[in-house]
Amino acid sequence: MAAGRKTAPVSDCFRLLLPLWCLLLLLPAGCATRLPPVGEELTGRERQGVEELFLATMEQRHRQMQCLDAEAEIQWRSWLRSGVLPGYLQAMAPNRLKFVGLDPLGRPALALTTNGETFRLLLVNQALVYQGPTTAEAFRQHLPQGLPAERLPESLFAWLFGGMPLEPEIVAVYRAPDGRGYWLEVAEPPRARLLFEPLFDLEPPLKVVGNDDHYPPFRPGTGLVRRIQLFEPDQRQPAEIIYDDYRPVPQVGDEPGWLLPHRIELDSRRHQGLSLSLLLSDLLADCALRPEDFQLPIPAGYTLETVD
């Protein structure tokens, strides 16, 4: 049986996992001030066409993407330190995640599991386990200021596969200055927008024949989320998440499936200018994960510390 202590102070191991917290929990809060425009604002049927294409693509991804299983490498750099942590990552919609980090010899060094509401962190070399709610102050203090962990149960999985982790109400649409996609500003959370790139050309503007709207045809998964920007109250320096290296991932047999990002980058000016990359390889979306696969038993002899 594991020894138990309650409301113990959190060790530096939480700081080692700060990049992972930032990647998964970067959700802003604050007053609903509009963002400065980025490119030409769309109106009318042209805006409607982009919105409907985006929402339809995200809805199909949401319905069909249910799990991820991949080898993972976390690379981070800040003003004070840098590091690399290899391991493997498993995730299941809507909110389950497990990451196992490996030491240089390929042995488990730590393991983290969460369902968006609670977490458990196991540290092998210290024979120590932390657990508690994601709303615990010990957990929150390692996040960018003001980030509501309460949203994790509904958005955790979407952050990892290029889905829609934000509320779907769109308040403005802009054509990107380089012509490669559209910036969509959302109502909630405030000061957040994302770059959506259809994999076909939406020009010329949508045409109307009679009373029927004619929108360009699209195949599931052919529109991609490229970036998400989360602005601070001064609206100058956003934290930015970049989804890159999209590749088709088989879902049934060897048939090409959805395009999924294999590189996710975070650039945050909080936490000593943190810059992080999550690199995924051997990624499977046709996996048969179950909720019990995300349980993390406490080994005999480990000390359990519960944070509130």
What count of other Cβ atoms lies within 10 Å of the Cβ of residue 8?
A: 15
In a domain, 100, yes or no: yes
User: pLDDT of 65-92, one tens digit each?
Assistant: 889 999 999 998 877 788 999 999 999 9
In a domain, 94, yes or no: yes
pTM above 0.85, yes or no: no
List all residues 6 or more positions away from 203 whose beta carbon is below 8 Å from its beta carbon.
Answer: none
Band of residue 15 on the pLDDT scale cut at 50, 70, 90: low
In a domain, 44, yes or no: yes
DSSP 8-state assignment for residue 109: E
Predicted pLDDT of residue 89: 96
* Residue found under tokens 């998440």: 241
Mean pLDDT comparison of 2-16, 245-259, 290-304, highest-scoring range? 290-304
In a domain, 217, yes or no: yes
Q: Please check the confidence at residue 302 and state whether its pLDDT lies above 90.
A: yes
Question: Which residues span the domain enclosing 82?
Answer: 3-299
CA-to-CA dists, residue 136 to 20, 25, 40, 102, angstroms: 17, 14, 43, 27
Predicted pLDDT of residue 36: 62
List all residues 6 or more positions away from 142 whose beta carbon is below 8 Å from its beta carbon.
Answer: 10, 14, 15, 17, 18, 21
CA distance 254 to 7: 49
CATH of the domain at 69: 2.50.20.10
* Residue percentage of the chain with pLDDT more than 90: 40
In a domain, 305, yes or no: no
DSSP 8-state assignment for residue 285: S
The candidate with the shortest Cα–Cα distance to 93, out of 165, 145, 37, is: 165
Q: List the single range of 41-45, 47-51, 229-233, 246-250 with lowest mean pLDDT.
A: 229-233
In a domain, 307, yes or no: no
In a domain, 306, yes or no: no
Structural domain tally of the chain? 1
CA distance 47 to 294: 41
When pLDDT is averaged across residues 182-208 and rounded to a whole number, the result is 73
CA distance 5 to 7: 7
In a domain, 128, yes or no: yes
CA distance 45 to 83: 48
CA distance 62 to 79: 37
Band of residue 38 on the pLDDT scale cut at 50, 70, 90: confident
Q: Which two structure tokens, joined as six digits, stand for 167?
A: 């509320």
Q: Determine contact, residues 273/33, Cβ cutoff 8 Å.
A: no
Looking at the DSSP bridge assignments, the partners of residue 3 are 303
Q: Which two structure tokens, joined as six digits, stand for 31?
A: 């007053």
